[in-house]
Structure 1
Amino acid sequence: MAHDMSLWSLFLMADWVVKAVMVSLLLASVWVWAIVFEKMTSLRRVNRAADGFEDRFWSGGSLEELFTKEGEQPSNPIAAVFGAAMREWRRSSGRTMTSDLAVTGMKERVERAMSVAITREMDRLERWMVFLATVASAAPFIGLFGTVWGIMNSFSAIAGMQSTNLAVVAPGIAEALFATAIGLVAAIPATIAYNKLSSDLGRFAGRLDAFAAEFGAILSRQSEAAAADPAAPVPARQPAEG
C-alpha cells in the first residue's frame, strides 16, 4: 500500500510529541525572521540618524542650540550620548573650575555619563539577540529529540507488526527525520543572522565610542580653558573638525 510522503502528511502522521516539536520549531523560525527584519530596519535607521546628527554636530553650530533641539529629548542613540554628556557638563560647568582636580573630576563624570548612555542604547538595540543565539544553538538538538522520539515509536511499531519491510519502516523514519529538518530550517537562518547582526551592532557600538571620545576631548579642552581663565566666557561652539 502506497504511503503519502508529502510534508503535510508526514506532520499529520507524526506522534503528538513530534508534532509539538515541529510546531515549536516552526514558531521559533517565524519569530527569528521577524527579529531579523526588525533589527536590520533598526540598524539602517539609527545609522542614517547618526550620519545626520554628526553632520550637524561638526557643522560648527552652537552646542547649546544642538542640545536644545536634539539632546534634551534624543530620538537616536548618538543624540542620547551627546545629551547625557551635555547634561553632566552643564551641571559641572556651573561650578568654579580653578584646579586641575576639578577639571579631572568633570572629565570623569562626563565620560561615565556617556558610558552609561552607550550601554543603555546598545542594550535596546541588542534586544532579542539572545533569542537568536538560543535558536541557533538549540534548534538542531530540539529537532533531534523529535527525531529520536519518532524513531523509537517506529521501532515499536515494527516490532508489533513483526516486519522489517522498507515500505513499513520508511514512513515512520521519514516522519522522525522531518523534525530534524525543521530544526535546521530554524537554526541555520538564526546562526547567519546572529553573526551578521552581531558584527553590525559591534560596528555601531564602536561608532558611539568614537563619538564619545571625540566629544569628551572637546568638553575637556573647553573646561581646561575655563579653568585657566575663569573670567573668560565658556565657548559655546565646537570646532569644525573630524
Structure 2
Amino acid sequence: MSQRWLGRSIGMAASAGLGMLPGASLAAADAALLPRNLSPWGMFESADIVVKAVMVGLAFASLVTWTVWLAKTVEIRRKTALARQRIGLLERDTQLAEVEQASRDGNDAVAQIVQSASREAALSGGMFDDGFKERIALRLERVEAAMSRQIARGTGVLATIGATAPFVGLFGTVWGIMNAFIGISEAHTTNLAVVAPGIAEALLATALGLVAAIPAVVIYNHLTRSIASYRALLGDASVMVMLLVSREGDRSLFRLARAAE
C-alpha cells in the first residue's frame, strides 16, 4: 500500500510540474523582453534606429538653439552699448564734420550712418537744399535696413526649430509605438511590463521635441524684442544726424544771406 501511495504522489507532482512549465516559460519570456535600464540613456540605447536618429536630431537642434542664444546675446549687447555711445557723441557735438571725424575708424551701425551722411554731403557740394535732405534720408534708411538684416541673421533658425521640433518628436513617438505593437504581436502577450518600456522609449522622443522647441520659441521672442530695441536706437541716430544736417543747412543759408547783404 505504501508503494502505491508513493507512486501516486510522484505522479501528481510530475503532473503539477508539467502544468507549471508553460506559465514559467511565459514569465521567462516576459522577463527577457524587459530592458535592463529604464533611464533616459538606457531607453535611448534600446530604441529603434529611426527613433535614435530622431532623438539625436532633436538634441542637435537644442544645441543649436543655445549656441544661437549665446552668440546673438553677446552681439546685441555689444552693438547696443556701442550705439548708445555713438548717440552720446551725436547729442554732444554740433557739427556733422566733428561727428564724422570721431567715428571715421568705426565699423558699427551708427558710425556707418554718420559716414553715409558725410559722403552725401561731400557729393552734394555743400548744397543744403530739400533734395539734399531727401537723399540723406534715403541713404540713412538703406544703412538702417542693412544693419537690421545683419543683426537679425541667424535668428530664423530658432523659429524653424520651435515650429518643427514637436512634430519631429511626434514622428519618433508614432514610429516607436508602431514597433512596440509589433513586438506585442510577436511576443503573443499583453503584459503591461512588456508593453510599457517600448511605449516609454517612444514618448521620450516627444519629450525631447518639447525640450528643443520650448526654449527655441522663448529665445526667439526675446531676441526679437532686443533687435527691435536696437533698431529703435538706429532710428534715433538717424534722426540726430538729420538734425545736424538741417542745422548746418540753416547756418549755410544764414551765411549766404549775410554775405548778400
Q: TM-score range by the shorter chain?
A: 0.7 to 0.9
User: Residue 81 in 1 paired to residue 107 in 2?
Assistant: no
**Cα separation, 2, equivalents of 1:75 and 1:175:** 52
Q: CA deviation at 1:207?
A: 1.5
**2:169 is matched with which residue: 137, 143, 147?**
143
SS state at 1:42 partner: helix
1:75 corresponds to which letter in structure 2? N
Q: CA deviation at 1:38?
A: 0.9
SS state at 1:58 partner: helix
Q: Is the 8 A contact 1:18 1:179 kept in 2?
A: yes
Q: What RMSD over aligned residues (CA atoms) do the two structures have, in Å?
A: 2.0
Q: CA deviation at 1:89?
A: 2.2
User: Residue 166 in 1 paired to residue 192 in 2?
Assistant: yes
In the TM superposition, 1:85-164 aligns within 5 A as 85-92=117-124, 94=125, 96-97=127-128, 103-164=129-190
Decide which structure has greater helix share. Answer: 2
1:49 corresponds to which letter in structure 2? L
In the TM superposition, 1:201-240 aligns within 5 A as 201-227=227-253, 229-230=255-256
Q: CA deviation at 1:65?
A: 3.5
The runs of at least 4 aligned residues of structure 1 exceeding 6 Å deviation read none
**Cα separation, 2, equivalents of 1:35 and 1:232:** 58
Q: TM-score normalised to the size of structure 2?
A: 0.80
Q: Is the 8 A contact 1:29 1:185 kept in 2?
A: yes
Residue 27 of structure 2 is matched in structure 1 by none
**Larger RCO (alpha carbons 8 Å, 6+ apart):** 1
2:179 corresponds to which letter in structure 1? N
Q: Is the 8 A contact 2:90 2:240 kept in 1?
A: no
Q: TM-score normalised to the size of structure 1?
A: 0.86
Residue 82 of structure 2 is matched in structure 1 by 49
1:223 corresponds to which letter in structure 2? G
Deviations 1:38-90 (A, max 9, x none): 111111111211222122222226532431331x4433222222222222122
**Cα separation, 2, equivalents of 1:227 and 1:21:** 70
Residue 70 of structure 2 is matched in structure 1 by 37
**1:14 is matched with which residue: 47, 51, 54?**
47
Whichever of the two has the greater Rg, that structure is: 2
Change (3 A) 1:106 1:96: closer
**Cα separation, 2, equivalents of 1:226 and 1:62:** 12
Tell me which moved more, 203-212 or 28-37.
203-212
Change (3 A) 1:147 1:79: same
Q: Is the 8 A contact 2:51 2:202 kept in 1?
A: yes
Q: Is the 8 A contact 1:96 1:230 kept in 2?
A: no
Q: Is the 8 A contact 1:74 1:83 kept in 2?
A: no
